Amino acid sequence: MPSDSVDDAIRDIAAGRMVIVADDLDRENEGDFVCAAEKATPDAINFMTKHGRGLVCAALTEERADALALHPMTDRNTDPHGTAFTVSVDAHRRFGVTTGISAHDRARTIQLLVSPDTAPADLRRPGHVFPLRAHEGGVLRRAGQTEAAVDLARLAGLRPAGVICEILSEDGTMARRDELCGVARRYGLRFISVEQLVAYRLGGEDAGTGDDEPQGGRS
């Protein structure tokens, strides 16, 4: 199935635009809206919740999560793909948030998650933004959208953190590959796979562009 080039996706991420990243057809077979965390705006969060309908999460490096004292959501992670949720957070009210759930409030919380000036006390727990700890080594260590979001932001020259949201169909089921491509066309978004990003990072000359089906990935 045709896909865009990783280089084009990186350029869009650097410019503050959103892309769609799909994982392995044999794993979760899902797609996420992805943008750089430091470029997250209320409009971007509203778009994700309106057209993605999934859970808005902030993908962070392990180092960043540790610096903010974002401990694992559970002591015993039984998720089949090891998705590393931390305790959920909201920005403290002194940063202009109210209930924490509005697009404005969630964008503000995400901005704080990537700001070098943020301290653990600046975040309330629990909240309405769900941080995820990306594995060190990115998609070369774990081929999931969490790591893909962090890798794309880093490759774009931004702080290594991203925002992801699963894409559901209008009937509430998961959008699969054909529908994801349609969503990308409808909104003029780049569409890539985790497998492409793995190949890109491994340094293949033409790894960034291809029409092959993804063969690996987790969400």
DSSP at 193: E
Mean pLDDT, rounded, of the chain: 92
Alpha carbon 43 to its chain's center: 16
Per domain, the residue ranges of the chain are 6-202
User: What is each CA distance from 122 to 34, 71, 109, 196, in whole angstroms?
Assistant: 25, 15, 9, 37
Q: How far apart are CA 120 and CA 107, in angstroms?
A: 17
pLDDT of residue 81: 83
Model pLDDT, residue 27: 62
Condensed to tens digits (0 to 9), the pLDDT of residues 134-176 reads: 999 999 999 999 999 999 999 999 999 999 999 999 999 999 9
pLDDT of residue 209: 44
Q: What is the pLDDT of residues 11-27, one digit of tens each?
A: 999 999 999 999 876 66
Classify domain 6-202 by CATH architecture.
Alpha-Beta Complex (3.90)
pLDDT at 103: 99
Q: Which of 75, 38, 53 is nearest to 160 (CA)?
A: 38
Question: In whole angstroms, what is the distance from residue 133 CA to residue 146 CA?
Answer: 8
Predicted confidence at residue 9, as pLDDT, reads 98
Residue 29 confidence class, pLDDT cut points 50, 70, 90: confident
Please check whether residue 96 is in contact with residue 133, taking contact to mean a CB–CB distance below 8 angstroms: no
Using alpha carbons, list the distances in angstroms from residue 203 to 12, 140, 158, 198: 20, 12, 20, 9
8 A C-beta contact, residue 32 and residue 21: yes
Q: How would you class 43 by CB atoms within 10 Å of its CB: exposed for 0-12, middle for 13-18, buried for 19 or more?
A: exposed
pLDDT at 95 over 50: yes
Mean pLDDT value across residues 121-132? 98
* CA 133 remoteness from chain centre: 11
CA-to-CA dists, residue 74 to 34, 61, 83, 171, 185, angstroms: 25, 18, 11, 31, 38
So what's the pLDDT on residue 26?
A: 66
**Nearest-angstrom CA–CA distance, 138 and 154:** 10
Cβ-in-10-Å burial (0-12, 13-18, 19+) of 163 comes to: buried
- Report which of residues 93 and 82 the model is more confident about: 93
Q: What pLDDT, on the 0 to 100 scale, is given for residue 82?
A: 84
Q: What is the pLDDT of residue 2?
A: 59
The tens digit of pLDDT for each residue in 98-110 reads: 999 999 999 999 9
Each residue's pLDDT tens digit, 38-89: 999 999 999 999 999 999 999 999 999 999 999 999 999 998 888 999 999 9
How many C-alpha atoms does 92 have within 13 Å on its Cβ side?
7
Encode pLDDT of 193-213 as tens digits.
999 999 999 985 344 444 333
> What is the pLDDT, as a whole number, of residue 216?
35
Q: If you search the block for the tokens 């700890």, which residue do you land on?
A: 133
Strand ranges, E, within 114-197? 123-134, 161-167, 190-193
Specify the pLDDT at position 76: 92
